[in-house]
Amino acid sequence: MRTDGNCCMIQLTVDFGQKISICASAADQNLNFAQPPTTIQCWVPQACVGMQAECLRFGAMVPDAGPKIGVVGIGSYLPPRRVTNEDIERCVNTTAQWIVSRTGIKERRYVSPDTCTSDLAAWAAADAIDDAKLGPSDIGLTVLGTSTPDWILPATSCHVQTKLGLPTAPAFDVSAVCSGFIYSLAVAHSMFNLCCPNSHALVIGADTFSKLLDFEDRTSSVFFGDGAGAVVLGKVPAGYGILATELMASGALHDIIKVPAGGLHLPASTDTLSGRQHYFRMDGKAVWKYVTTTIPKLVPAVLAKAKLEAADIDLFIFHQANRVMVDYCATQLGIDTARLHYTVEKYGNTAAASIPVTLHDAIRQGRVQRGSHLVLVTVGGGMTAAATVMRWY
Ligand X SMILES: CC(C)(COP(=O)(O)OP(=O)(O)OC[C@H]1O[C@@H](n2cnc3c(N)ncnc32)[C@H](O)[C@@H]1OP(=O)(O)O)[C@@H](O)C(=O)NCCC(=O)NCCS
Which residue number, 169 or 282, has a Cβ lying nearer to ligand X? 282
Bridge partner residues of 234 (DSSP): 70
Q: Please say if 349 is a catalytic residue.
A: yes
Active-site choice (319, 341, 360, 373): 319
DSSP state letter for 1: -
Shortest Cβ distance from residue 297 to ligand X (Å)?
17
Beta carbon of residue 250, minimum distance to ligand X (angstroms, whole number):
14
Burial of 133 (C-beta count, 10 Å sphere; 0-12/13-18/19+) = exposed
Spell out the SS3 assignment of 75-87: EEECCCEEEEHHH
State how beta strands 171-174 and 139-145 pair.
parallel
Query: Of the two residues 117 and 322, which places its CB atom closer to ligand X in the complex?
Result: 322
Q: Which is nearer to ligand X, 94 or 332 (CB)?
A: 94
DSSP reduced 3-state for 188: helix
Q: How far is the CB of 275 from ligand X (least distance, A)?
A: 20
Q: One of 178, 189, 200, 360 is an active-site residue; which one?
A: 178
Distance of alpha carbon 254 from alpha carbon 346, whole angstroms: 29
Per 3-state DSSP, the chain is made up of helix, strand and coil in percentages (nearest 5) of 40, 30, 35
- The DSSP line for 252-290 is GGGGGEE--SSSSSS---HHHHHTTTTS-EE-HHHHHHH
- Interface positions with ligand X (CB under 6 A): 94, 98, 102, 178, 218-219, 222-223, 282, 284-285, 287-288, 321-322, 325, 349, 380
Of 256, 214, 220, 207, which is closest to residue 99 (Cα–Cα)? 220
The closest residue (CB) to ligand X is: 284
Query: Which of 200, 349, 360, 373 does the annotation list as catalytic?
Result: 349
Nearest distance from residue 318's CB to ligand X, in Å?
11
Spatial separation of the C-alpha atoms in residues 12 and 271, rounded to whole Å: 67
- Nearest residue (CB) to ligand X, 14 versus 291: 291
**Nearer Cβ to ligand X (303/344):** 344
For residue 254, indicate whether it is catalytic.
no
Residue 358 three-state SS:
helix
Residue 85 designated active-site: no
Cβ 131 to ligand X, closest distance in Å? 27
- Which are the catalytic amino acids? 178, 319, 349
